[in-house]
Structure 1
Amino acid sequence: MAGVGRLSSKDAVLLLCDMQEKFRPNIFQFTNIVSNAARLLQASRVLGIPAILTEQYPKGLGPTVPELGAGDLKPHAKTSFTMMSEDVVGELQALGNPKQAILCGIEAHACIACTTFDLLEKGMEVHIVADAVSSRSQTDRLFALSRLRQSGAFLTTTEAVLLQLVQDSRHPNFKEIQALMMQPSPDTGLMAFFSAL
């Protein structure tokens, strides 16, 4: 059934956008956003989901923060607000053009938004992990999430993604995924989004 948004580990890619050192002091809920993204990256390794990492102008904004745990990934440097650089598009093609993107990182109203628009225009299904996405201001973050939902992206949470990817407690990797959910996701201020609807 088209448009339901059911995630599948067989046809997904995890996109990790610009979680860099210089953003640390200025991004709303930065520590919790990166913590949730790190769990998604761990799950992607367990489930065999490829991950792609970008860095916005790393010469000026520094490297990806170490707590993301992405040291094994080759970051794609960029200056544009979209992740869809020539290198990233080439990597997606090499992966067989996955149909679903799980998107996390910063900033919601800039690089996450531009990436989402590009992915949707390419016909990809976009799952924005709302508690793994942020901006400098909570206002920009919440309005961006609302805007992106209007454009056709699915909004979800870290734990929801983990559960949807395994689907069943009999999944061979369920115990490993369950271990990633032992601690509930921290509150990242999303209830304000729903009270505004």
Structure 2
Amino acid sequence: MEPSTTLFFLCDLQEKFRPIIHGFEHVVASTNKVLRVAKILGCEVVVTTQKARALGPTDPAVNLDSLGTLHVGTYDKTLFSMLTPEVLAVLDSRPATKSIVLLGIESHICILQTALALVAHPSKYTTYVLADGVSSANPAEVPLALAQLRAAGVIVTTSESLSFQLMRDASAPDFKAFSNVIKEEKDATSKAVEALLGRL
């Protein structure tokens, strides 16, 4: 993986879903950790909302403002897949993109359909789903969705593993800032892994 050819896709992490999604606060914590890493490494982030008029905006606890211009945009949708015409236009305008990292909700609906669409896309993106960055209202749905994704060729990993994969080298100029994020997020990461991966 290379940061310059990697996009993060954040799917429908909206405040109206907070009361019903299993471990929602842990998905938010993993998301904010990943956004900090994305900022350090210069990875762009694409965000969607599902029918925001009814379901509200992205949860305000998600620190999108910190990204500045790395936040490509937030696109509202009715499709379950994130690959709306607007998001496809973002991809078309970035032909160097090779890897896409997915996080958000719900694992068995929008995350699943987005990942399958990315794998089937003519560009054949290498698609990653962060197991500690996704969830569903019914936690029993999640391992089934992740199993289906693995079978389709999607790489299921964790926020920490993927972050180090992007960082690659402890001698890199950004490693100190990166390392500080990993240390500062250690407790939140442990709680998210326990809450969201314990079911796996």
Q: TM-score, normalised by structure 1?
A: 0.91
Aligned-pair CA distance for 1:99? 1.1
- Local SS of the residue matching 2:76: strand
Q: Deviations over 1:63-119 (max 9, x none)?
A: 101121113543100000000000001011112251110110000000000000100
Structure 2 counterpart of 1:104, one-letter code: L
Runs of 4+ off more than 6 Å: none
Q: Is the 8 A contact 2:102 2:128 kept in 1?
A: yes
Matches within 5 A, 1:1-197: 7-71=1-65, 72=68, 73=71, 74-122=73-121, 123-182=124-183, 183-184=185-186, 185=189, 186=191, 187-193=194-200
* Number of residue pairs matched by the alignment: 187
Contact 2:40 2:177 in 1 (8 A): yes
Residue identity matched to 2:109: A
Contact kept in structure 2, 1:33 and 1:188, CA below 8 Å: no
- Give 1:154's aligned amino acid: I
What do you get for the CA RMSD once the two structures are aligned?
A: 1.2
Give the alignment's TM-score, normalised by structure 2. 0.90
Give me the whole-angstrom Cα distance separating, in 2, the residues matched to 1:17 and 1:28. Answer: 15
Asked whether the equivalents of residues 26 and 195 of structure 2 are also in contact (C-alpha less than 8 Å), the reply is yes
CA distance in 1, matches of 2:82, 2:27: 18
Percent identity of paired positions between Structure 1 and Structure 2 = 31
**Matched residues in 2 for 1:97 and 1:170: separation?**
25
The one-letter code sitting in structure 2 at the alignment partner of 1:163 is: F
> 5+ unaligned residues in a row in structure 2: which ranges?
none
Higher helix share: 2
Equivalent residue for 1:4?
A: none
Q: Which runs of 5+ in 1 are unaligned?
A: 1-6
Note the C-alpha offset of 1:163: 0.7
Query: Which region of structure 1 is more displaced relative to structure 2, 70-79 or 120-129?
Result: 70-79
